């Protein structure tokens, strides 16, 4: 079967790759583009470790065909920080010790960023339901939830400081 | 001793050194590694739970394009070797047979052959082309089936070790081991009891559930030198197991640990590494093996399903006088369930003068069990703590008061032998009584449960080095994969000893060539035993720095003291100006060269740990669905080095235990096929299932450790099973003895009650 030629944007870089028709976005990110930050915990859409944003929408990259991202925009965990500046979710996860083994962390970072993009002032329950697709076996979620709530608070503070 | 200690760095909460790489996706885990010329392996697994292998035809697979090697059990030597570890050890023959079956397959998913090809797709296709001919046998799926007269026998050569039951043949058998623990006169004890409670409890086989599947890369060089990159809890263990199984020198193998995406005991055994080595040896190229999630469920982990018959007797005033118990633990396909540990932990929290406990290790056609956090203790403790709850109800006593009345304390002889040193069970119970959760009002359809739990913790071997750099910063190197923040804890210990700020200490996990032997990350031993090695190595470095200061002063090292990162003159050194680490470090090249402190330790014992959980459960009696609405964990941690990561251990262990109590279980059909090998049907707790999990750190210093550290990683999973079930009893009036408390089971019990 001939390979497909896909042109896309990943973390702001315009790039192209060849892939098999059946190859998933996760496989291409990890195996062809060397972006191994997205993890495979299940390959069936149940763990969230492979979470990425596709045109600003949160998706499980193990359930997206690589060919589907032609001419689209992909953001992976590697693109969440801006230069030296961590995203507040990343910073708060560090401050709160919201990771133990860290294998779920890339997916949590992407999913939580996406939540705060949509909803700058989520309740604890909203955070818990938004992150319900991201399994973490180590932390019991407590410190992750606190980190995301604090990240939301710092982002609101920053915004009000800017607007003031 | 330690109660008096004052700390400057220990007990603070700095950001972990490896954190940035983990929140940015840069950290490399098992499956992230690659090499030029890499081949991809695929494992052929048995579709049957129990079958004899008649023939394996690999010729079609071997002839396919891109296929570079095909191996079977013939490529893994049969061995009778054992690898010792702590008190126990690994049977390398069983482990090798589990890697690639030799004569029989013993569970669905048992590996029978492996292929290596130039792409994962070609490897998968070649695996499908391997033809295996089986004679299918009747599977033995449950404890009762395994013990039944005339049961199919898994292993022809198996005999019952330990203390076999009288009058039962020790061979042929599916009972690999039976042991007894006893004290006093148990019949007399029950005769003297005012009340006796007795029930049978079961817990399902459950998986550790780490999110990262097993993965490794192996390269077998033309000169026989082997390098393995792998995600493991113990890379020295991988080296020594691989060497022992393949019959080669450990010195030929270098194992480089990746970051590890969870283990909880499940990444102690080798499942892939020797197979990857054997494939690479045959293909002359490096080979990568990665398990799918389905493979992880079918063929790695899990922990034992259990059946526990237990009886407790007490006086009217609540004094426990007698206990008896029979523990049956599924070992999976090969001997080695944690039945013995279950027996030793079952009543460790209490002084009970008369007891008799027997424990059986039973093979069944399920995956070989691996350690899972405090292996053995949660299941037997579920029985004990449920019955203690029942006694409290029958006697109308406060559940904490009843436990306090009987709680073990320093000087008591543990049921498993030694006398307890300082332990914190009473302090933990007192903290529970004082906690607002204990007296908070409950809402409608809510119930509250409490339970305690015990785990021994382990010591074993560790090595560490501490180097002082010429700019006064320091490097600490140890041999334990960091599964949850141990590097930052080790840096804190170096800071404490040298007075170097924690961000100027670089902690690192070294491969098997670069640090002395270190037992695995498990047994709650890293902060305790490896921590001890780190502290001793830092002290060694400090003594060397003092000697260098003495040289700079032209005095004797005996005249040099140390205070928070500064060499200070003692009597006899005159009025020399104190020298900071930075000042001494800058002159190392002129005072004798590099400074490296080093230490190896092998503490035979560790300070045991106790924890307690309070659980509020809300039950929907229409649907049987229950929800944990409030949860508090209290634990004696000895001394918390980095409290956030200690709390994290407690919260994570509690949520695993809650999952075990409410949802998780291996479901097999009658033929022994696992029906739920995925996260959709094997339902682990997700964020929206749980509330915040409050923690209280009780610190009763462990005199065996210089700072008072106790292991903390395993105790947290012991109390939840009974804490949740006791809350269910409180909410519904029904005593549940079989886990999980899934909605259908709860509904059924409420209907028949
Ligand atoms: S790997 Fe995509 S959801 Fe688990
Ligand atoms: S930190 Fe290990 S799975 Fe979340």
- Asked if the model's pLDDT at residue B613 lies above 60, the reply is yes
Mind listing the pLDDT tens digit for each residue in B515-573? 999 999 998 899 999 999 999 999 999 999 999 999 999 999 999 999 999 999 998 77
pLDDT tens figures, B581-603: 999 999 999 999 999 999 999 99
In eight-state DSSP terms, residue B530 is I
Q: What are the CA-CA distances from residue B589 to residues B181, B451, B540, B546, B605 (Å)?
A: 60, 58, 18, 15, 40
Q: Which residues of B touch A37 (CB under 8 A)?
A: 24-26
User: pLDDT digit string (tens) for B277-334?
Assistant: 999 999 999 999 999 999 999 999 999 999 999 999 999 999 999 999 999 999 999 9
Condensed to tens digits (0 to 9), the pLDDT of residues B449-489 reads 999 999 999 999 999 999 999 999 999 999 999 999 999 99
On whether the CB atoms of residues B264 and B372 are closer than 8 A, the answer is: yes
Comparing C-alpha atoms, which of B357, B484, B351 is closest to residue B423?
Answer: B351
**Alpha-carbon B154 to chain mean position:** 27
* Confidence (pLDDT) at A164: 67
Determine the average pLDDT of the residues in B687-691.
98
Number of residues that this document lists for chain B: 753
Q: Which residues contact B177 (CB under 8 A, 6 or more apart)?
A: B160, B161, B162, B335, B339, B340, B359, B360, B361
Task: Please say whether the beta carbons of B639 and B2 come within 8 A.
Answer: yes
User: What separation in angstroms does the CA of B332 have from each of A154, B94, B291, B368?
Assistant: 50, 12, 19, 4
Which tokens in the block code for residue B198? 């007795």
DSSP B273-301: HHHHHHHHHHHTS-EEEE--HHHHHHHS-
Question: Does the CB atom of residue A46 touch ligand 1 within 6 A?
Answer: yes
pLDDT for B2 beyond 50: no
Nearest by Cα to B18 from B348, B527, B630, B508: B508
Predicted confidence (pLDDT) at residue A84 exceeds the cutoff of 90: no
Residues of chain A contacting residue B264, judged by C-beta atoms under 8 Å apart? 137
From the list B740, B461, B406, the residue with the least C-alpha distance to B604 is: B461
Distance from CA of B713 to the nearest CA of A (A): 11
DSSP letters of B609-661?
Answer: EEEEEEEEEEE-TTT--EEEEEEEEEEE-SS-SSHHHHHHHHHHHHHHHHHHH
> ∠ CA(B296), CA(A40), CA(A66), 5° rounding?
135
pLDDT in tens, B205-235: 999 999 999 999 999 999 999 999 999 999 9
Q: Which residue has the tokens 């009658």?
A: B670
Other CB atoms within 10 A of residue B29 CB? 24
Q: Cβ distance A19 to A6 under 8 Å?
A: yes
Closest to B483 (Cα-Cα) out of B648, B298, B236: B648
**Structural domains in chain A, sorted by start:** 4-79 (3.10.20.30), 88-163 (1.10.150.120)
**pLDDT score for A161:** 82
Residues with CB under 6 A from ligand 2: A 99-104, 136-139; B 211, 262
CA atoms within 13 A on the CB side of A77: 35
3-state DSSP assignment of residue A96: helix
Instruction: Say if CB B287 and CB B212 are below 8 A apart.
Output: no
Q: Which chain A residues are closer than 8 Å to B689 by Cβ?
A: 132
What's the whole-number average pLDDT of chain B? 96
How far apart, in whole angstroms, are the C-alpha atoms of residue B219 and residue B228?
Answer: 6
* Residues B379, B491: Cα–Cα separation, whole Å: 36
| Residues whose CB falls within 8 Å of the CB of residue B39, separated by 6 or more in sequence, listed in order | B68, B69, B116, B117, B118, B123, B279, B280, B283, B285, B286, B287, B288
The Cα–Cα gap between B289 and B292 comes to 10
Q: Is A49 in the pocket of ligand 1 (CB under 6 A)?
A: yes
Q: Is B542 helix (H, G, I), strand (E, B) or coil?
A: helix
Q: Is A157 in the pocket of ligand 1 (CB under 6 A)?
A: no
User: What ranges do the domains of chain B cover?
Assistant: 38-137+214-290, 306-457+605-752, 459-601
* C-beta neighbour count of A125 within 10 angstroms: 10
> Does A47 contact ligand 1 (Cβ within 6 A)?
yes
The residue whose CB lies within 8 Å of the most ligand 2 atoms, and thus the one to mutate among A99, A109, A131, is: A99
Nearest CA in chain A to B485: A100
**Do B212 and A101 count as a contact with CB atoms less than 8 A apart?**
yes
Out of B213, B644, B679, whose CB is closest to A135? B679
Q: How far is A73 from chain B (nearest CA, A)?
A: 19
Cβ separation of A139 and B485 shorter than 8 Å? Answer: no
Residues in chain B with CB shorter than 8 Å from the CB of A30 are 31-32
Interchain contact, B23 vs A101, CB within 8 Å: no
| Sheet hosting strand B287-290, strand order edge to edge | B67-72, B111-117, B39-45, B287-290, B215-220, B226-230, B253-257
3-state secondary structure B657-674: HHHHHHCCCCCECCCCCE
Distance in Å, CA B494 to ligand 1 centroid: 39
Angle subtended by helix axes B92-99 and B273-283, to nearest 10: 60
Please state which CATH number belongs to domain B306-457+605-752: 3.30.365.10
Which chain A residue has the Cα nearest residue B651? A140
What would the DSSP string read from start to end of A125-148?
Answer: HHHHHHGGGS--SSS-SHHHHHHH
- The whole-chain average pLDDT of chain A stands at 96
Would you put residue B8 in left (φ > 0), alpha (ψ -120 to 50) or beta?
alpha
Query: Which of B81, B4, B423 lies closest to B242 in space, CA to CA?
Result: B81
* Sign of the Cα pseudo-torsion (B377, B385, B141, B144, in order): positive
Q: Which pair of tokens denotes residue B95?
A: 């482990």
The residue among A13, A40, A12 whose CA lies nearest residue A25 is A40
Contacts for B739 with CB less than 8 Å, ≥ 6 apart: B202, B203, B204, B382, B660, B661, B665, B721, B725
Identify which of A138, A150, A19 has the alpha carbon closest to the alpha carbon of residue A94.
A150
Query: Cβ contact (<8 Å) for B686 and A135?
Result: yes
Q: What percentage of chain B exceeds 70 in pLDDT?
A: 99
Cβ-based neighbours of B617, under 8 Å, separated by 6 or more: B446, B447, B448, B449, B626, B627, B628, B629, B724, B727, B728, B730, B731
CB contact under 8 A, B678 and A42: yes
Find the CB nearest A76 among B25, B647, B686.
B25
Q: How is residue B237 written in tokens?
A: 């263990």
Task: Return the sign of the alpha-carbon dihedral for residues B419, B423, B429, B434.
Answer: positive
- For residue A137, which atom of ligand 2 is closest to its CA? 3
- Ligand 2 atom 4: residue of nearest CA: A136
Query: Are the Cβ atoms of B690 and A131 closer than 8 angstroms?
Result: no
Chain B residues whose beta carbon lies within 8 Å of the beta carbon of residue A105: 22-23
Burial class (CB in 10 A: 0-12, 13-18, 19+), B522: buried
Question: How confident is the model at residue B1, as a pLDDT?
Answer: 43
Instruction: Kindly report, residue by residue over A8-22, the tens digit of the pLDDT.
Output: 999 999 999 999 999
Mutation test residue for ligand 2: of B259, B262, B645, the one with most atoms within 8 Å of CB: B262
Beta bridge partners of B254: B227
CA of A139 to the centre of ligand 2 (A): 6
Token pair 């009780």 is at which residue? B698
Report d(CA B642, CA B485) in Å as an integer.
8
> CB-based burial of residue B415 (10 Å sphere; 0-12 exposed, 13-18 middle, 19+ buried)?
buried
Equal fold, B306-457+605-752 vs B459-601: yes
- 3-class SS of residue A107: helix
Could you tell me if B700 and B419 are in contact, meaning their C-beta atoms sit under 8 angstroms apart?
A: no
> Beta strands B51-57 and B131-136: pairing type?
antiparallel
Instruction: pLDDT band for A83, please (50, 70, 90 cuts).
Output: confident
- Inform me whether the pLDDT recorded for B153 exceeds 70: yes
**The pLDDT of residue B434 is above 50:** yes
What are A102-111's pLDDT values in tens digits? 999 999 999 9
Give B7: exposed, middle or buried? Use CB within 10 Å, 0-12, 13-18, 19+: middle
Contact indicator for B50, B137 with CB cutoff of 8 Å? yes
**Cβ pair A106:B262 closer than 8 A:** no
Neighbours of B59 (CB within 10 A): 10
Mutational test site, ligand 1, from A46, A105, A110, max ligand atoms within 8 Å of CB:
A46
Cβ A60 under 6 angstroms from ligand 1:
yes
Interface test with A, best of B17, B122, B124, B211 (most A CBs within 10 A): B211
Q: What residue in A sits closest to B484 (Cα-Cα)?
A: A100
The reply to whether ligand 1 has any atom less than 6 angstroms from the CB of A48 is yes
Query: Are the CB atoms for A27 and A66 separated by under 8 Å?
Result: yes
Number of cross-chain residue pairs from A and B with Cβ atoms under 8 Å apart = 182
Distance B490 CA to ligand 1 centre (A): 33
Mean pLDDT value across residues B77-83: 90
Q: Which ligand ends up closest to the CA of A136? A: 2
Q: Is residue B3 predicted with pLDDT exceeding 80?
A: no
Q: What is the pLDDT of residues B627-656, one digit of tens each?
A: 999 999 999 999 999 999 999 999 999 999
Q: What CATH code is assigned to B38-137+214-290?
A: 3.90.1170.50
What is the distance between the alpha carbons of residues B565 and B558, in angstroms, rounded to a whole number? 17
On whether the CB atoms of residues B363 and B334 are closer than 8 A, the answer is yes
Chain B residues with CB under 8 Å of A95 CB are 15
A2-27 as b/e, with b when 16 or more CB fall inside 10 Å?
eeeebebbbbeeeeebebbeebbbbb
A62 vs A27: CA distance, rounded Å: 7
Structure token digits, residue B418? 């030694």
Q: Which pLDDT tens digit goes with each residue over B706-728?
A: 999 999 999 999 999 999 999 99
Side-by-side strand order, sheet with B566-569: B560-563, B566-569, B579-580
pLDDT of residue B420: 97
Residue B477, SS3? strand
The residue count for chain A: 164
Q: Which CATH architecture has domain B459-601?
A: 2-Layer Sandwich (3.30)
ipTM given for this complex: 0.98
């Amino acid at each position: 079967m001939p390979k497909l030629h896909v042109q896309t944007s990943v973390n702001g870089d315009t790039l192209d790759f060849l892939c098999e028709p059946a190859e998933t976005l996760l496989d291409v990110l990890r195996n062809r583009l060397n972006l191994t930050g997205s993890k495979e915990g299940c390959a069936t859409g149940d763990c969230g470790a492979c979470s990425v944003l596709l045109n600003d929408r949160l998706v499980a990259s193990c359930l997206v065909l690589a060919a589907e991202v032609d001419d689209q925009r992909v953001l992976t965990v590697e693109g969440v920080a801006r230069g030296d500046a961590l995203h507040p979710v990343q910073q708060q996860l560090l401050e709160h010790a919201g990771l133990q083994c860290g294998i779920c962390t890339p997916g949590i970072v992407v999913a939580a960023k996406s939540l705060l993009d949509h909803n700058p002032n989520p309740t604890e329950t909203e955070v818990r339901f938004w992150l319900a697709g991201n399994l973490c076996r180590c932390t019991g979620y407590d410190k992750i939830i606190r980190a995301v709530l604090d990240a939301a608070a710092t982002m609101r503070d920053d915004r009000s400081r800017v607007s003031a | 001793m330690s109660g008096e200690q004052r700390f400057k760095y220990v007990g603070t909460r700095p950001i972990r050194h490896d954190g940035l790489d983990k929140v940015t996706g840069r950290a490399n885990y098992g499956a992230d590694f690659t090499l030029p010329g890499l081949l991809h392996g695929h494992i052929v697994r048995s579709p049957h739970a129990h079958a004899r292998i008649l023939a394996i035809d690999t010729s079609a697979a071997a002839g396919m394009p891109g296929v570079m090697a095909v191996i079977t059990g013939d490529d893994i030597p049969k061995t009778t070797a054992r690898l010792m570890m702590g008190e126990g050890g690994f049977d390398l023959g069983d482990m090798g047979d589990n890697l690639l079956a030799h004569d029989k397959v013993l569970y669905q998913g048992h590996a029978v052959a492996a292929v290596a090809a130039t792409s994962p797709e070609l490897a998968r296709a070649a695996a499908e082309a391997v033809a295996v001919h089986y004679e299918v046998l009747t599977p033995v799926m449950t404890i009762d089936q395994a013990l039944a007269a005339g049961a199919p026998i898994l292993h022809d050569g198996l005999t019952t070790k330990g203390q076999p039951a009288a009058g039962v043949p020790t061979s042929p058998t599916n009972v690999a081991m039976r042991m007894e623990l006893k004290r006093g006169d148990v019949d007399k004890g029950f005769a003297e009891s005012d009340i006796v409670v007795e029930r049978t409890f079961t817990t399902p086989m459950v998986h550790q559930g780490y999110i990262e599947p097993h993965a490794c890369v192996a390269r077998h060089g033309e000169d026989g030198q082997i390098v393995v990159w792998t995600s493991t809890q113990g890379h020295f263990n991988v080296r020594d197991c691989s060497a022992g199984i393949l019959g080669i020198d450990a010195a030929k193998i270098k194992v480089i640990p990746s970051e590890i995406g969870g283990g909880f005991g499940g990444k102690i055994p080798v499942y892939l590494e020797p197979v990857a080595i054997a494939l690479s040896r045959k293909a002359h190229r490096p080979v990568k093996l990665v398990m799918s999630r389905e493979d992880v469920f079918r063929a790695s982990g899990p922990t034992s399903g259990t059946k526990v018959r237990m009886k407790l007797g007490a006086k009217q005033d609540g004094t426990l006088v007698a206990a008896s118990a029979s523990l049956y633990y599924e070992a999976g396909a090969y001997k080695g369930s944690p039945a013995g540990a279950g027996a030793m932990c079952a009543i460790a929290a209490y002084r009970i003068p008369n007891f008799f406990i027997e424990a059986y290790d039973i093979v069944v056609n399920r995956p070989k069990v691996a350690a899972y956090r405090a292996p053995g203790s949660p299941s037997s403790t579920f029985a004990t703590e449920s019955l203690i709850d029942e006694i409290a109800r029958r006697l109308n006593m406060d559940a904490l008061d009843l436990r306090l009345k009987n709680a073990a304390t320093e000087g008591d002889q543990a049921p498993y032998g030694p006398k307890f040193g300082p332990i914190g069970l009473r302090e933990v119970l007192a903290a529970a009584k004082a906690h607002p959760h204990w007296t908070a009002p409950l809402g409608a359809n809510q119930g509250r449960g409490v339970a305690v739990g015990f785990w021994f913790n382990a010591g074993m071997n560790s090595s560490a080095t501490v180097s002082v750099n010429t700019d006064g910063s320091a490097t600490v190197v140890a041999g334990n994969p960091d599964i949850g923040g141990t590097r930052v804890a080790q840096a804190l210990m170096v800071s404490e000893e040298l007075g170097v700020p924690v961000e100027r200490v670089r902690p690192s996990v070294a491969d098997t060539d670069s640090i002395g032997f270190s037992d695995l990350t498990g047994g709650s031993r890293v902060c305790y035993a490896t921590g001890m090695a780190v502290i001793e190595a830092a002290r060694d470095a400090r003594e060397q720095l003092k000697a260098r200061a003495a040289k700079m002063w032209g005095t004797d090292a005996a005249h040099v003291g140390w205070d928070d990162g500064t060499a200070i003159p003692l009597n006899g050194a005159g009025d020399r100006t104190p020298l900071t680490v930075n000042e001494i470090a800058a002159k190392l090249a002129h005072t004798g060269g590099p400074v490296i402190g080093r230490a190896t330790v092998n503490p035979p014992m560790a300070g045991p740990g106790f924890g307690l959980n309070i659980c509020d459960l809300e039950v929907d009696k229409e649907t049987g669905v229950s929800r944990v609405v409030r949860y508090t964990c209290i634990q004696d941690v000895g001394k918390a080095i980095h409290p956030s990561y200690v709390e994290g251990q407690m919260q994570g262990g509690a949520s695993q235990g809650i999952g075990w109590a409410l949802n998780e279980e291996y479901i097999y059909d009658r033929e022994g096929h696992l029906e739920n090998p995925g996260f959709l049907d094997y339902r682990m707790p997700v964020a929206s299932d749980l509330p915040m999990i409050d923690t209280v750190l009780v610190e009763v210093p462990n005199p065996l450790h210089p700072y008072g550290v106790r292991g903390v990683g395993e105790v947290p999973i012991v109390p939840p099973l009974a804490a949740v079930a006791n809350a269910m009893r409180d909410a519904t009036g029904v005593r549940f003895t079989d886990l999980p408390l899934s909605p259908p089971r709860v509904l059924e019990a409420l209907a028949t009650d």
